[in-house]
Structure 1
């Protein structure tokens, strides 16, 4: 993993001056990097979250969100690596692994309109328009993913996803997530849209260009997004990215204050082990 640059600082007010004691438990979540090939190289789907949202307002992110208890429904029609395989990759129990994969597919559909499912184990939906109402019902929690797929006669295509990483929000923050990152290719015939209340804008972009926009101050990125874009930048095609066989370990950054502001540090950084619980620049005496 590339080292997070020192100039990647958190927005003012992003974390409280005191670390909550005890820390707020991290909610299980799934994040999906949706990618496609172009003549100019691999592109990834990005969303700018609505300013003022409780978590990461105004930041540029990938689709994703928290696990719903119904995502663990064992009646879910499923094709691809079984939950036990995902559990081994993300070092979690089988029930949570099932829920994480379901949440990844559900959140991708809710936030981008891309549906990683098909009428059979070797087909994928090419036209999602018949499922517009179901998408809204999923967003409003009026319908579970298992219920939707059963009514529509569809199978969740877990084989279209790849495990990528696992990021845990620093303990200094009051809204925390244990977010497992997945990679998925845009299915043929489908398109990603911006029809979600959580985003003020969406776009496809080459990872390197997104990093350039951050460097120029045109967008805000959280450390996991920055690091993931840097990793995707090294993949020239979707096939190359999907072939990645990654060893996944939990990454929990810590927050330190220096002359540049609130900075995130990762394990291996000299400042990591000595990161203080107090973030106010006050006299230690």
Structure 2
């Protein structure tokens, strides 16, 4: 039986740490596939979760270009992390920035993360064996089904990104669609509900008050013991 969901207390003084993630994509026999990595279960942050290559923006990523250009530094960080964690050599200029995620102010590491997508090179994936223990290529739908079957662990931004990728059949189709729209910014707020929790996002009627019971437009991720489900109305400031 799943443990009851509990949320840490907000702390407005917790600063954000710039970070970057890259979503490698390839054309598979069953449609669009993405490379996912499982973090070492012993790690304090997101241990055991399935993620994409990524990590914090280092000082070297900043000084390699214009010091005030944080997006460029995030691109360098994404390329570096893909090489370090999965042995992938990516090109900065081919990364499509499609979202940015800011977690709520809680007492833990608070990574404000640029999400990029790109076509994966046709090379062998080599995980570092330390921070990353294993990898797999999966369709978005398969990864989401495995989470709801409690076979794998995902973070809310990962689930919603998979949901965004799920309609596309090919890498070209996905990257063209993501590049054609402005990058979307998500600043998460949580609320407890019966059977679990809800992550609230911009455009949701309950977002400003962090109250999932408020009537009106919906833009949220239901994280219930019975399963996760993303709900977004067309009038909730969708891009």
User: TM-score interval w.r.t. the shorter chain?
Assistant: 0.7 to 0.9
Counterpart residue number, 2:121: 187
What secondary structure does 1:47 align onto? strand
In structure 2, which of residues 17, 39, 46 is the aligned counterpart of residue 27 of structure 1? 17
Q: Is 1:37–1:43's contact at 8 Å kept on the other side of the alignment? A: yes
Instruction: Give the number of aligned pairs.
Output: 208
Matched, 1:213 2:187: no
Q: Is 1:49–1:58's contact at 8 Å kept on the other side of the alignment? A: yes
CA distance in 2, matches of 1:97, 1:196: 29
Task: Report the CA distance between 1:249 and its aligned residue.
Answer: 3.2
CA distance in 1, matches of 2:134, 2:3: 21
Pair 110,199 (structure 1): closer, same or farther in 2 beyond 3 Å: same
Pair 21,101 (structure 1): closer, same or farther in 2 beyond 3 Å: closer
Per-residue Cα deviation, 1:29-68 (whole angstroms, up to 9, x for no partner)? 1101011112221110111222242221222111100000
Task: Report the CA distance between 1:199 and its aligned residue.
Answer: 2.2
5 Å-filtered alignment, 1:86-125, equals: 94-116=68-90
What secondary structure does 1:97 align onto? helix
CA distance in 1, matches of 2:57, 2:145: 32
CA distance in 1, matches of 2:109, 2:4: 15
What secondary structure does 2:152 align onto? coil
Pair 95,11 (structure 1): closer, same or farther in 2 beyond 3 Å: farther
CA distance in 2, matches of 1:21, 1:235: 38
What secondary structure does 2:69 align onto? helix
CA distance in 1, matches of 2:107, 2:198: 13
Of structures 1 and 2, the larger Rg is shown by 1
Task: Report the CA distance between 1:104 and its aligned residue.
Answer: 0.8
What secondary structure does 1:105 align onto? helix
Per-residue Cα deviation, 1:95-120 (whole angstroms, up to 9, x for no partner)? 2122111101001101110012xxxx
Counterpart residue number, 2:105: 171
5 Å-filtered alignment, 1:56-135, equals: 56-74=46-64, 94-116=68-90
Relative to the length of structure 2, the TM-score reads: 0.79
Per-residue Cα deviation, 1:130-171 (whole angstroms, up to 9, x for no partner)? xxxxxxxxxxxxxxxxxxxxxxxxxxx322211111011112
CA distance in 2, matches of 1:10, 1:21: 27
TM superposition outliers: structure 1 runs of 4+ over 3 Å: 9-13
CA distance in 2, matches of 1:58, 1:30: 19
Gap runs ≥5 in structure 1? 1-8, 76-82, 84-92, 117-156, 277-285
Task: Report the CA distance between 1:270 and its aligned residue.
Answer: 3.1
Q: Is 1:29–1:103's contact at 8 Å kept on the other side of the alignment? A: yes
Pair 96,21 (structure 1): closer, same or farther in 2 beyond 3 Å: closer
What's the C-alpha RMSD, in Å, of the aligned pairs? 2.3
Pair 271,21 (structure 1): closer, same or farther in 2 beyond 3 Å: same
Task: Report the CA distance between 1:174 and its aligned residue.
Answer: 2.1
